[in-house]
Structure 1
Amino acid sequence: MSWKVKLNILLLSGLFIACGGGSDNPGSDPDPEPDPVPAPRATTLIFPENNSECTTGVVVSDTQSQVLFEWNESENTDSYEVNLRNLNTNNTSRFTSNTNSVNITLNRGTPYEWFVVSRADGTSETANSPSWRFYNEGPGIENYAPFPAVAISPERGAILNGITSVDLSWTGSDVDNDIVDYEVYLDTNTDPTTSLGITAETSLPDVAVSAGNVYYWKVVTRDSQGNSSTSEIFQFRVD
C-alpha cells in the first residue's frame, strides 16, 4: 500500500472520530425531564382576625364596606385565592391575588368565614390556610349574634358502624363572649325539627341512634341579649 493511500485512511479515520462521536458522557439523557415544580406551602392569616369584629373597613354605603384582607407570603407560591363565605347565606365568593392582600367589599353587620388557597404555576398541588371567622362591623350594632356553631363529632358525612348511641359535640364562639346556651336538633329529616334539649355545654352525650338511618342535626346558639344563630345542617349515617 502506498504512503498516499495510508495517509488518506488515517485522515478519514480522524474525521469519523471527530464527527461521530465519542461522547464525554455516553449514558446522559439527550432530553432530560425538567425538575418538578415544588408544591406551594400554606399561608398564615393576618387580618381580619379570627373570632373578632372587623372595625377598620372603609364604609362605601349604608349596607357595605370595603375591607383589606391580609396574610403572610408563603413559600413556592405564585398566586393566592381567597375563599370567603357569608355565614348568613352560606354563599361563597372567591378572589384571586398575586400579592398577600386584597380589598373585598362586604355586607355590614354580617358574619363571614375565610381561608386562603396557595397556588403555584406548573403544578396542580395547592395548600390551604386555616379558616377564620369574623363579623364585619355594622351601623349602630352594640351586641353581635353568636357565630353559627361548627360540628366536631360526628364529622360531616361520617359513617358509624355498630353503635346504638352517639356523642354530639361542636364549637361555639361570639365576638361579645356572651353565649348562654345551645339547643340541639336531630332526626332523620333533612331539616331536623326534633329538639334534644338545651344545654350550656358544647356536647351532648349518649344520643340514641339506630342502624340503617341517616341522621341530620343542627345547633341553635343563643347569647345574653337574645341574639341567636343557627348552624349548618350536619349529617352522619349509622350502619
Structure 2
Amino acid sequence: MKKIVYIFCTVVFMFGCKDTTDDGPNINPNLDPPNGVQLVFPYQDALCNEGADLTPTQSTVSFEWVPNNNAEFYTVTIENLTTGNIEQYEAADFIFPVTIQRANAYKWFVEYNYQDEIKSSDVWNFYNAGPGVQTYAPFPAEIISPSMAETIAAINSVTLQWSGSDVDNDIVAYDVYFGTSNPPSINSSDIIVNQLTLSVTPGTIYYWEIVSKDAEGNTSESGVYQFNILN
C-alpha cells in the first residue's frame, strides 16, 4: 500500500548510509529543465553498507540527488523490491534520510513539477546490506519489450527483451515464463541472453515473467507482464 509522507527538511548530514567517498558519479549542478533530476546516492546497482544501523533490521539511508533550481520541492519514491511496498516523500532539499529495512533490495527515483509537467530522474536499484548476508539475490529483471499492457499489431512472433543486474555480478541464467494464462507456465530454462523470440497468435493476450538466477542459487522474479496481439 502506498504511503505518502510530507516532510520538508533542511539539508541534513546525519548518521546512516550516506555517500562518504569521492568516487561517485560526475554531477552537473546546472541541469536544464528537460533533464529532470540527476541521482547521486545510493549508487546504481550497488550494495549500500555504510553508516550506523538503528536496529538489526533497519538502517538509515541518506538519499541524495543534484539540486535543480526549477524545483520548489521533490517527490522521492522508494520501492522495496523484496516486499513490494512503495513509499513516497516530499522533500524541500536534496539530501533526504529515510529509515528502511536491511537485507532488502530497493529501487528509487526523484520527481518534481515544472510548468505543469513532471520531470523525473532515472530509476536506480540498490541493495541495503544486512547482518551476516554473504550473497545477494539479483535485482528483479527490468522488462524492456513488450512493455506492460502494450498493444502490438498483428504478427506471428514477438521478441521478449529484458535486462538484469546483481550486486554480486554473478547472474548465470534466466528462466522465461510465457503463455496465455496468468500466471504463465515455464517456457524456457537457463537462457543466458537477454531476449527470446517466440511464436504468437493474433487476437491473443499473452503473459510473461522473467526469473533471474545467480551462481549461488539465489533467484528473483520480475513480476508478470502482459501484452496484446491484435487481429
- After TM superposition, is the score higher than 0.5? yes
CA deviations 1:139-166 (Å, max 9, x no partner) are 1111111001011111222111120111
Aligned to 2:7: none
Q: Which amino acid aligns with 2:59?
A: S
4+ runs deviating over 4 angstroms: none
Tell me how far apart the structure 2 counterparts of residues 170 and 82 of structure 1 sit (CA, whole Å): 25
Distance 1:133 1:182 in 2: 19
Q: TM-score, normalised by structure 2?
A: 0.82
Q: Quick one: distance in 1 between partners of 2:63 and 2:140?
A: 22
- Name the residue aligned to 1:55: 49
Q: Which has the larger helix fraction?
A: 1
CA–CA distance in 1 between the matches of 2:169 and 2:35?
33
Which runs of 5 or more residues in structure 2 are unaligned?
A: 1-32
2:160 is aligned to: 168
Whether the aligned pair in 2 keeps the contact of 1:49 and 1:134 (CA below 8 Å) is yes
Structure-1-length-normalised TM-score:
0.79
What's the offset of the Cα at 1:57? 3.8
**In the alignment, is residue 98 of structure 1 matched against residue 89 of structure 2?**
no
Contact persistence 2:45–2:126 (CA under 8 A): yes
Give, in whole Å, the separation in 1 of the partners of 2:34 and 2:44.
Answer: 23
Counterpart-to-counterpart distance in 2, 1:67 and 1:95:
14
* Map 1:1-239 → 2, pairs under 5 A: 42-119=36-113, 123-205=115-197, 207-239=198-230
RMSD over aligned CA atoms reads 1.6
Percent of pairs with identical residues? 39
In structure 2, distance between residues paired with 1:203 and 1:188: 19
Q: Deviations over 1:191-217 (max 9, x none)?
A: 112323321111112x01111111110
Task: Give the Cα separation in 1 of the matches to 2:220 and 2:190.
Answer: 14
How many corresponding residue pairs?
A: 199
For residues 110-132 of structure 1, what are the alpha-carbon distances to aligned partners after superposition, in whole Å with 9 as ceiling and x for unaligned?
00000001235xx5322100100
Q: Which runs of 5+ in 1 are unaligned?
A: 1-38
Larger Rg: 1
Matched to 2:225, the amino acid is F
Do the aligned partners of 1:119 and 1:125 also contact (CA within 8 Å) in 2? yes
